Structure formats: structure tokens, C-alpha cells
Amino acid sequence: MKDRPPALLIVGSMAFDDLQLPTTSARNVVGGSATYSSYAASLFCPVGLVAVVGEDFPDGDLEALARRGVDLAGLERASGKTFRWAGRYDADLVSRETLDTQLNVFADFRPKLPRAFRDCPYVLLGNIHPDLQIEVLDQVREPKLVLADTMNFWIEGEPERLAALLRRIHVLVINEDEARQLSGHHNIVKAAKDILQRGPARLIVKRGEYGALLFDGESTFFAPAYPLEDVIDPTGAGDTFAGALAGYLAKHEDVSPGALRRAIMVGTAVASYCVEAIGTAKLGRLSPADITGRLQHLQSLMHVAHDEI
Ligand code: AMP
């Protein structure tokens, strides 16, 4: 009998992060784009994970993902060290500087999809070398929707490979600075126009505490961020947003413009929890009721009843 494929395939980094936050610091925090996205997406649907970790990656963290319905058949444990990233945040917790990136086991990683993963209908190509994102895509048969994330490191370092990737995806999810860097336009509307001509039919621009914008060439949609009093660690918020968004779409098997708008609101609600603790601590404990509560609050942020002007 043929195995049923997971609804959503996720590829990305699994990492140890060293974080310098305004009032504290933390070392060896389990992170990485695929880790955050998988935590978030598994709130909504079964996930197939494709990534590599080194001998030093804790079993307990993999078991926690497996307990959430993340299929680890595509996870390789290679000899060597896990990917490592170090970053320092400014006092505003918005701007950050990458202090160090060590690819380690990712440098020689060649993703090989388990047979069942090749029929995944939804694919999230998390932030990692664009060649690896392309290699994964080459092995998926007929995906209904391909979403991709990337970051300044690859925009600067691998512009041609990134251009090749952009021609093959449906939705690009990047932050505002990355959209500017990729397009060469400071104005975000101009940047979006430019990026939509490079391949993806839809562009989602994450603006941190200022929300997210969706461009599809015909219309623009805006979702505010959830206003939070205590932001502890923004690392992984973007990956959490993309994971929840993709997981929601895969669960509902809907790629319509309306579904994408709803998915952005859901991604915003889940990401708001990510930043309230270091690493995935809070994400691992979320319930559907938590998410619904924040969604309702988010909707009420924009509710207004005009009688007259
Ligand atoms: P975000 O805050 O959503 O941009 O994601 C931060 C996560 O991305 C961290 O957990 C890092 O381990 C991971 N990361 C940082 N740089 C890279 C990179 N060049 N490639 C892949 N993952 C990265």
C-alpha cells in the first residue's frame, strides 16, 4: 500500500543559536528555520521534515517534534556539528546583526526525499541555501503550492541561485529589509512590483511589529501585528509565521486569495507567541484556544463602525 504523504513538506535549517538580547543572552538555543516552522505548522497538519543535524543535536528535541506529528523520515543525522548561528539584537528588538553563521553539516547536505514525501501537496522551502531549496523542489512531483523564505545572507551571497528559485515558487515570504535588498527599491510597493516580476505570483512582506503585507499584482492586503507588552526573543518569528501560514493552507487545502488572507492572520497570531519566550519554549505549549483568542483580538484591532464622516 502506498504511504499517504504528509500534507506539508518543510525544508530548512535546524540549528544551535547564540543570542545576545538587550537584557539577557542565551547560548545553544535549539532553533533554525525548519525547527520553528515545523513547530508552528504541526499545530494545523501533518508535516514531513527534510533537514540535517549533527551528532551534537539533542534527541529530546527530535522526539518533541515527532510527538507533534512531524514525520522525521527525511531528517539526516550526519557526522559533524549542527548548523550554528549567532545574532545580536538592538535595544528595540527589531534590528539585528548576524555575528556568525557556521554551516557545518549543512555544507555537504544533499537532501533526499523519502518516497512518501514526493507527493506532498504543499511545500515550504524554509530559509537555507537556495540550491538546497531547488533540490527539494526537483524531487516533489506536483505540488499545489510552493512557498519560500530566504534571508540577506543568501540574497547577497547567492543572487543567481536565488533568482532560479524565484522562477519556480508561488509565494515568497520575506521581511521588509530583504525585499528592499532583493529588489533594489526602498519603496515597498515598488519593491513588491519588481519581485512579482521575478517569478512568484504572490509576495508576503513581513514588517515585524508593524505587521505583514500581501501583494499579488492585483490587490494588497495588510495584517497588523499583535501588540505585545513583553517581547523576549524575536528569533524565529518569521519562520513561525511562515510555518503556521503554510500549515493552515495545507489543512484547509485552499490556495484562494481569501484563504491566504486568513492564513496570514493565523501566522501573525502564532508568531506572536513565539517571541514571548526564548527559542521554541512557548510554541511547544500552544493550544488551539490560545490561537483563536489572539485571532479574535487581532480582528478587533481593525474593527470600526462608521456612522458618518
Ligand atoms: P528568523 O528570526 O525567522 O529570521 O529566523 C531565525 C532562525 O534562522 C535562527 O534560528 C537561525 O538558526 C536560522 N538562520 C539564521 N541564518 C540562517 C541561514 N543563513 N540559513 C538558514 N537558517 C538561518
Residue 255 to residue 107: CA distance in whole angstroms: 34
**Chain-centre distance of CA 281, in angstroms?**
17
Which residue's CA is the nearest one to ligand 1's atom 18?
128
Give the three-class secondary structure for 42. Answer: coil
Helices (H), the chain: 33-41, 59-67, 130-139, 152-157, 159-166, 176-183, 188-196, 237-252, 257-274, 288-301
CB 40 within 8 A of CB 283: yes
111 lines ligand 1 (CB under 6 A): no
* Terminal CA-CA length for the chain: 64
- pTM for the whole thing? 0.96
Residue 85 Cα to ligand 1 middle (Å): 7
Residue 46 Cα to ligand 1 middle (Å): 23
Residue 217: left (phi > 0), alpha (psi -120 to 50), or beta?
left
Residue 277 Cα to ligand 1 middle (Å): 17
CB 233 within 8 A of CB 277: yes
52 lines ligand 1 (CB under 6 A): no
pLDDT of residue 254: 97
Query: Which residues does 274 contact at the CB level (< 8 Å), separation at least 6?
Result: 36, 40, 236, 237, 240, 280, 282, 283
pLDDT of residue 2: 60
Q: What is the tens place of the pLDDT at every residue in 206-244? A: 999 999 999 999 999 999 999 999 999 999 999 999 999
Residue 8 to residue 247: CA distance in whole angstroms: 7
Helix (H) or strand (E) holding 100: strand 96-102
Residue 35 Cα to ligand 1 middle (Å): 10
pLDDT of residue 3: 73
Question: Could you say which residues of the chain have pLDDT below 50?
Answer: none
Helices 33-41 and 257-274 meet at what angle, rounded to 10? 110
